[in-house]
């Protein structure tokens, strides 16, 4: 933050890269956002609880959530989000397939998977 305050872009970038490497965040790791939305808040909550219960227990894979999405109510729909974090060498698409593959979503629940998202909105 000091680098930003002082307008030192190079120092800010250097510190950000170091922090990302330590935390294994992109580009040193992988992220996937799973965003679910529904008009019925209670239905959405039940689906999210079931997904949370079915989180795969895989070494070096962290699944966080569910949590309200940053825009938790958008266009008449409630939104929840899970965040999946893996090392770079883990096939994150396969992790998502294992987790979501056997799950049947109600037709009223929209599901979006964003691998290596640019934004978390």
The domain that contains 110 carries what CATH number? 3.30.70.600
* Domain that includes residue 72, residue range: 29-115
Q: What is the mean pLDDT of the chain?
A: 94
Our count of domains for the chain comes to: 1
| Residue 74 covered by a domain | yes
Report the predicted TM-score, pTM, of the whole model to 2 decimal places.
Answer: 0.87
| Residue 121 covered by a domain | no
In the structure, what pLDDT confidence band is assigned to residue 1 with cuts at 50, 70 and 90? confident
| Residue 87 covered by a domain | yes
Closest CA to 45 of 67, 70, 76: 67
Residue 121, pLDDT above cutoff 70: no
Residue 65, pLDDT above cutoff 80: yes
| Residue 93 covered by a domain | yes
Task: Report the alpha-carbon distance of residue 6 to residue 12 in Å, rounded.
Answer: 10
| Residue 49 covered by a domain | yes
Task: Report the alpha-carbon distance of residue 24 to residue 10 in Å, rounded.
Answer: 21
Question: In whole angstroms, what separates CA 32 from the centre of its chain?
Answer: 5
| Residue 77 covered by a domain | yes
Task: Report the alpha-carbon distance of residue 19 to residue 119 in Å, rounded.
Answer: 19
| Residue 23 covered by a domain | no
| Residue 2 covered by a domain | no
The 10s digit of each residue's pLDDT in 15-60 is: 999 999 999 999 999 999 999 999 999 999 999 999 999 999 999 9
């Amino acid at each position: 933050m000091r680098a930003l305050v002082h307008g030192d872009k190079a120092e800010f970038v250097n510190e950000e890269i170091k922090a990302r490497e330590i935390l294994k965040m992109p580009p040193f790791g992988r992220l996937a956002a799973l965003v679910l939305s529904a008009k019925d808040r209670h239905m959405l909550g039940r689906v999210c609880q079931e997904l949370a219960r079915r989180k795969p227990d895989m070494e070096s894979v962290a699944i966080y959530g569910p949590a309200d999405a940053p825009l938790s109510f958008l266009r008449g729909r409630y939104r929840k989000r899970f965040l999946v974090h893996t090392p770079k060498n883990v096939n994150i698409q396969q992790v998502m397939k294992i987790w979501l593959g056997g799950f049947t979503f109600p037709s009223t629940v929209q599901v979006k998977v964003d691998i290596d998202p640019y934004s978390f909105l």
